[in-house]
Amino acid sequence: MILIYGRIDDPPLAHTVGALQETGATCVILEQGALDREGLQIEVGPGGIEGDCRCGRAGNFPG
């Protein structure tokens, strides 16, 4: 799964999302302006990357 974070009205980000959709890649969009309803926690350490993403209606995606 690929996490996209930012403003969906940003042309480079919108282009990236479109390209991912064309390839059939699984992705979740975390809209930068919606962090009052969604959440993102990422930890990078010697053991790798861990985190938790809460995306509105889509549900939770633990890392």
Write the pLDDT tens digit of every residue in 2-33: 888 888 889 999 999 999 999 999 888 878 77
- Provide the residue range defining the domain that includes 26: 2-62
**Residue 52: what pLDDT?**
74
Torsion of CA 17, 18, 19, 21, to 10 degrees: 90
**Residue 57: what pLDDT?**
54
Q: Which residues of 13-28 are buried (b: 16+ CB within 10 A; e: fewer)?
A: beeebeeeeeeeeeee
Q: Where are the alpha helices (DSSP H) in the chain?
A: 11-23
6 HSE (CA, 13 A, CB side): 12
Is-above-0.85 flag for pTM? Answer: no
**Residue 19: what pLDDT?**
94
